[in-house]
Amino acid sequence: MVGTGALTGALLLGSAPAASADDIRDRQWALEAFDADKIWQRSTGKDVTVAVLDTGVDAAHPDLRGQVLKGKDLTKKGTSAQEDTDGHGTAMAGLIAGRGHGPGGNSGVKGLAPDAKILPVRYQRKDFEAGTSLAASVRYAVRQGADVINISRGGHQNSEDKRAIEYAIKQDVVVVAATGNEGIKKRTYPAAYPGVVSVGGVDDRGAVWQDSSWGSNTTLVAPAAKNVVTNSTYESGYAIANGTSDATAYVSASAALVRSAHPDLTAGQVINRLIKTAKVPGPEEARNPKLPDEKFGYGVVRPYRAVTYDIPAGAKAGPLAQPDKSSDSAADEASSDSGSSSSDDSAGWMFALGPPIVLFGLIFVVLVGLVVLVVILIKRKDRRDRVSDPWGSGGSGPVVPPQQYPGQQVQAPSGQFGGPPTSPPPPPNQPPSR
């Protein structure tokens, strides 16, 4: 998937002297809303790897030192995934696993899952730049052992990307993606693929963010406005960002917290915990909405409850609609299991078509059909001979023209339709409680 767009808009926070480190931490309103200090007493994301499929991650940023794995740059000008000339990937990594800097790590940006490791997969160098396919990035992340894949970018539907997402889900990876920032009903991919945790946004007052798009099977919402992020493209090393990109990073971090605290759960069961503990935003509760709601899914993610509450594990596949079994994903599974082979089928070639009695019946039908066909051809030849030489003299007579068969008309695929919101965003509310 090339030409995909980042789903965060960043603004300059200030020059290095003007933006003090303490000021940065104070502006991280989402950590306070999540009651992050209490979460970290139970889980910090340790032993979990979150793949950030983006523009790379600046491993030298003071808040990310020691957090960023080698990863891979899959762009055509591939150099290092630990570089980021755009800043978007670094911003997502900071929200997920930033550790701050200075004494006790009390300065700078701290991520929601500060002990998780970031696997950077660079498939675009800049926003809207054509790089490698998203599919290749997803497959690489899975094969490198990612537990969670964060895709804070969006674009159009692509069959190759879809198969790669299916592969990741079948390999027990939590895939999280953003719905978009247009504030309209619009399907954004990969968020709209089955099995993906599709993330919209809320603002710093706890209401659905006005620019949060929906229609991509929205699963959860998370902070998407006024987030302080790590961004080395600015002199200060920080920026203020808005977008469902940020919300996606927070949900990916929440999944990392749950996977760390409950390592025996499948990816689907992790998603189940996130869904079962979510909260309907603000005044939306008054109308008792049917869940999932098209705009906010099951509600605002609450990682503290997702980590600590006693919730039945549920089905291994989890509550989300699962991708259909495809030949590509089946081939992926076969290639990951070196012991499997189609030659091991003890039933033999006869049973590929069914039991022997069925096979012999098919052979009989075919033979009868061939006999009938030969008779018909002989009769047609005899008729053509009579028509082409009606006098039987070998002279040229009228010739029957070949019959023309109409071709099959190919139907155009049905389009996807969207439209403006049918109602204005809900009024402001307090930040989500834990």
Q: Which residues are catalytic?
A: 54, 88, 245
Whether the CB-CB separation of 157 and 183 falls below 8 Å is answered with no
Q: Compute the distance between CA of residue 309 and CA of residue 253 in angstroms, rounded to an integer.
A: 17
Q: Residue 12 has which token pair?
A: 């300059």
Rg (the chain; Cα; Å)? 29
Distance CA 324, CA 359 (A): 30
**DSSP bridge pairs for 220:** 199
Written in H, E and C, the secondary structure of 59-124 is CCCCCCCCCECCCEECCCCCCCCCCCCCCHHHHHHHHHHCEEECHHHCEEEECCCCCCEEEEEECC
Chain centroid offset of residue 309 CA: 27
Q: At residue 214, what are phi and psi to the nearest 5 degrees?
A: -145, 180
